[in-house]
Amino acid sequence: MKVLVVGGGGREHTLVWKLKQSSHVDKIYCAPGNGGIAQDAECVPLAAEDLHGLADFAQEKRIDLTVVGPEAPLTAGIVDIFKSRGLKVFGPDAKAACLEGSKVFAKEKMTRYGVPTAAYRVFYDAAAALEFVRELNGPCVVKADGLAAGKGVIIAKNRAEAEQAVRLIMEERAFGDAGKAVVVEQLLKGEEVSVLAFTDGKTIKTLAASQDHKRVFDGDEGPNTGGMGAYSPAPVYTSELHEKTVKDILEPVIYGLADDGIKYKGVIYAGLMVTSEGPYVLEFNCRFGDPETQVVVPRLKSDLLEVMNAVIEERLDEVELEWDPRAAVCVVAASGGYPGAYEKGKVITGLDELPPDILVFHAGTALSNGKLVTSGGRVLGITGFGATIEDAVKRVYSGVERIHFEGIHYRRDIAHRALKRGMLND
């Protein structure tokens, strides 16, 4: 089979790496890919947002399956376009992808289906939103309704910050039309966990749980990023919590959407806050997480292509997901200055000195005159394994330390919550 993966980050590199291992796959293309993906797939210079260009390419090359990585093409309807042209594609259609594309839509559905999520109000008017946060007069979370590359959520510690957030999103339109509406919600306290599941709209099969690290510096300090590292499994996610997540969150959403005429097919990502009252949904994403994919997918022993086909053909009930019992930890190596301004084009060295059990997934790399150079904020995701999370942490850092490029920075405390939990349980 010929497969096309859409996207060009660490998540897509991991999907390419995994799909390449399938005995059904003869050839993989990736659009647009990156410098590292080019070692595993043929990169095609088409942007992930060029929906018709991608469909033309898939038709021309007789692609058997297209796998869509990022949310932007999914919410823009890439699946609808591919399907209308008779092309096989993995991911939710535009209607189902609204679960990520519109926070108002997601909150309204969760309320309708009785899914635990923070109490909230929706505003389409800045003056009304400002009046509300003034009355609230305390901490809250202000969220732009639409896609904002992970930056549209502002945790306001007090009234002044909440007012500033409303102004930034609704008046200054810092995230463009994503700020036509805002959700103002209650600030939840607890530990976060990412739970992904495959679903064909009828059957739900969860993936191993993981935890992301969004802040740029150690100790969860500094601004939010796309994700500085991840680990799986997540000890906070107990079997009791898992049962609750499936019964109180995933099933009501997938079956509720189906009753509302929306068949969700693909992977659903539930970002949860584990509170003293159980799991609450912070957000849904309509795609694999990044960098969660870099720890979850390498732990999947089953053939990913077979799973994806089963989702598309609505026979997910026939598939069993098998997991590697080892723990996986991913550390993201970022460019100096990220998530602010950073320089590109720095030569990357040390990758050929890594032992084979350490995986390197490229996010922002390019080939320049035959040399691998940095081309993005998050440059590499380095994944290591171990019998325990502690072992995997030691292993992965022994690899990360050998990698160099000017300005490289990475967190040295990935998985710190799991390690602390382990110490308490000893």
Are 182 and 122 in contact by the 8 Å Cβ rule? The answer is yes
Ranges of beta strands (E only) in 175-246 are 182-185, 191-199, 204-206, 211-212, 215-217, 221-224, 229-232
Among 152, 308, 297, 304, smallest CA distance to 230 is for 297
**Which entry of ligand GLY, ligand AMP, none binds 141, CB below 5 to 8 A by partner kind?**
ligand AMP
d(CA 366, CA 39): 11
d(CA 426, CA 413): 20
CB of 292 to ligand GLY, least distance (A): 6
d(CA 7, CA 343): 22
Residue 192 touches ligand AMP, criterion: CB under 6 A: yes
CB of 424 to ligand AMP, least distance (A): 22
Residue whose CB is less far from ligand AMP, 158 or 203:
158
**Which entry of ligand AMP, ligand GLY, none binds 292, CB below 5 to 8 A by partner kind?**
ligand GLY
Size of the site for ligand AMP (CB under 6 A): 13
d(CA 67, CA 239): 30
Residue whose CB is less far from ligand GLY, 58 or 339:
339
Which residue type is seen at 214?
A: K
**Which entry of ligand AMP, ligand GLY, none binds 153, CB below 5 to 8 A by partner kind?**
ligand AMP
By the criterion CB under 6 A, which residues form the site for ligand GLY? 150, 212, 227, 285, 289-290, 292
**Which entry of ligand GLY, ligand AMP, none binds 201, CB below 5 to 8 A by partner kind?**
none
Residue 97 touches ligand AMP, criterion: CB under 6 A: no
**Which entry of ligand AMP, ligand GLY, none binds 118, CB below 5 to 8 A by partner kind?**
ligand AMP
The half-sphere exposure of 3 on its side-chain side, counting CA atoms within 13 A, is 28
**Which entry of ligand GLY, ligand AMP, none binds 256, CB below 5 to 8 A by partner kind?**
none
Residue whose CB is less far from ligand GLY, 206 or 309:
206
Residue whose CB is less far from ligand AMP, 249 or 310:
249
CB of 125 to ligand GLY, least distance (A): 28
**Which entry of ligand GLY, ligand AMP, none binds 185, CB below 5 to 8 A by partner kind?**
ligand AMP
Give Cα separations from 345 to 7, 11, 156, 270, 348 (angstroms): 20, 21, 36, 35, 9
Residue whose CB is less far from ligand GLY, 285 or 365:
285
User: Would you call the peptide bond into 73 cis, given omega within 30 degrees of 0 as the criterion?
Assistant: no
Residue 188 touches ligand AMP, criterion: CB under 6 A: yes
CB contact burial 246-280 (16+ within 10 A = b; e otherwise): bebbbebbbbbbeeeebbbbbbbbbbbbbeeebbb
d(CA 200, CA 110): 19
